[in-house]
């Protein structure tokens, strides 16, 4: 399976789950066969403000490739800055961004991301 120019070794991907997909969980899933790992949903505004707790969510395990970072926000300028920060901090292969207007949009974005990775289509 391929996402852009990233070749995945299988169709098994770890979805971003807030409070679940920390670095240790992602490493375990990778060792058990996940071809792609993804951070939990990260606030672009918190990255732009350089929040230390938020930066800890970007921590990657050695060799975490391919790896994705998922950011969300409503301000396109801040989201662009956050994407650059995430890329520089992690060297990730994929940045998934979710433009939100309402909190429930983030949940729908996660579902869409999983559907795309697993089944190849978006709701």
What token pair was written down for 87?
């890329």
The CATH number of the structural domain formed by 6-119 is 3.20.20.70
- Could you tell me how many residues make up the chain? 123
Quick check: 76 and 99 in contact, CB under 8 A? yes
Q: How far apart are CA 55 and CA 110, in angstroms?
A: 20
pLDDT tens per residue, range 7-57: 999 989 998 888 889 999 999 999 999 999 999 999 999 999 999 999 999
Which of 3, 114, 95, 93 has its CA nearest to residue 44?
95
pLDDT tens-digit series, residues 79-115? 999 999 999 999 999 999 887 765 555 566 666 666 6
Q: Are 16 and 123 in contact (CB under 8 A)?
A: no
Beta bridge pairs of residue 66? none
Distance in angstroms (rounded) separating the CA atoms of residues 18 and 22: 9
Cα angle, residue 82 at apex, residues 37 and 97 outer, rounded to 5°? 50
């Amino acid at each position: 399976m391929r996402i852009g120019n990233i070749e995945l070794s299988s169709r098994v991907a770890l979805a971003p789950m807030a409070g679940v997909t920390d670095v240790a969980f992602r490493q375990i899933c990778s060792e058990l066969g996940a071809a792609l790992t993804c951070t939990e949903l990260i606030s672009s505004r918190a990255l732009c403000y350089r929040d230390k707790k938020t930066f800890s969510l970007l921590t990657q395990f050695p060799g975490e490739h391919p790896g994705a970072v998922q950011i969300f926000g409503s301000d396109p300028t801040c989201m662009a800055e956050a994407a650059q920060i995430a890329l520089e901090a992690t060297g990730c292969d994929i940045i998934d961004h979710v433009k939100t207007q309402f909190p429930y949009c983030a949940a729908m974005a996660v579902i869409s991301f999983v559907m795309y990775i697993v089944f190849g289509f978006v709701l």
